[in-house]
Amino acid sequence: MSTTQSSAAEEEGGRASSPVAPASGGPGVRVASPAASGSPGSRESAAARVRKRLSTTTASLVAIVIAALWTLPTAGLFISSFRPEQEIKTTGWWTMFTDPQLTLDNYREVLFSANQGQLASYFVNSFVITVPSTVFVVVLAALAAYALAWVNFPGRDWVFLGVFALQIVPLQMSLVPLLRFFSQGVTIGDVQVLPAWDLPGAFAFTNVWVAHTIFGLPLGIFLLHNFISQLPHSLFEAARVDGAGHGVLFRRVVLPLIVPALVSLAIFQFLWVWNDLLVALIFAGGDVSTAPLTVRLAELAGTRGNEWQRLTAGAFVSMVVPLIVFFALQRYFVRGLLAGSVKG
């Protein structure tokens, strides 16, 4: 008797604990399938499918073809820079493979010829202009970004909004007022508040330094502010408990964490200033003592634009430094904040 009752109780308990599927058309709760509910698993599988398609042999061949077509003009320019002048003007660069004629005269001409090239002095001028302009922007943008992100003062949000709005203003609109400021100074009524910036010698580059710094600061402050404002609050709270002020916070907490952002900004600013022609031509002039490399490159083609052999060699001379800077510092592009993240 007891055995029969216990078996019946177990059967009823099993029925009570087991899920009962509702009859067709009857009441019940429908359980959505993972695919129908759009679960993360389904999204990951979609991303995996896209990755798989982009990793196929066809996709790889298409990428190789695009890269080859993109590199072909540069390769042709590089080959032409080593060809004699007569060959450049009469045949295409691809004829080098059937009739190879190479020379270094083009590079010797643009670098050291006193009458035609003389790029060596302009090369030094580009360094003198680019390096300080990059350092000023990186240092001032880092200080301003930290103040706008972590220092509480009245009107902070309005200042940041103004910095952001300055990025919209075209650079060309400020060239004439800024040039007038450098050449005539500031005069209110009959009183001259600031004199003209007529600086001799090594200080002749000051105008172009200030111009490049002014034009580069809005973007630099905006980029670094977005980076610095995302740092963990716990870092600053722990440092303040130890008695750290803003100077110590900036030097020992913020700077080590924003090195990737600083280097990225430095690369962008360096490339922009090195390749600039308009600002340098206006504020540095075309004199051999202050003009950068880009000003001289614009003159290498000659009055009739037929000196192609100079342009091919001069173009690669101007590309050497940006390439070295980019490849030497590119590892910082992939670094993130995890290198200095908080433990625990």
Confidence at 9, pLDDT banded by 50, 70, 90:
very low
Task: Return the top range by mean pLDDT from 264-268, 299-303, 312-316, 328-332.
Answer: 264-268
How many angstroms separate the CA atoms of 292 and 121, rounded?
Answer: 9
Based on the number of CB atoms within 10 Å of its own CB, is 90 exposed (0-12), middle (13-18) or buried (19 or more)? exposed
Q: Is the pLDDT of residue 340 over 50?
A: no
- Of 163 and 36, more confident: 163
Residue 183 contacts by C-beta under 8 Å, 6 or more apart in sequence?
Answer: 196, 197
Q: Is the pLDDT of residue 199 over 70?
A: yes
- Of 116 and 235, more confident: 235
User: Which domains occur in the chain, in start order?
Assistant: 46-112 (no CATH), 119-340 (1.10.3720.10)
**Residue 187, strand partner residues:** 192
Confidence at 289, pLDDT banded by 50, 70, 90:
confident
Residue 194: its H or E element: strand 191-194
Residue-level pLDDT at 36: 46
- Of 220 and 13, more confident: 220
Residue among 99, 64, 69, 101 at smallest CA distance from 85: 101
Residue-level pLDDT at 220: 92
Identify residue 146 by its one-letter amino acid code. Y
pLDDT tens sequence across 64-81: 999 999 989 888 888 988
- Of 81 and 24, more confident: 81
Region 93-103 average pLDDT: 87
Instruction: Count each helix (H run) and each strand (E run) in the chain, helices first.
Output: 16, 2
pTM above threshold 0.85: no
Residue-level pLDDT at 117: 58
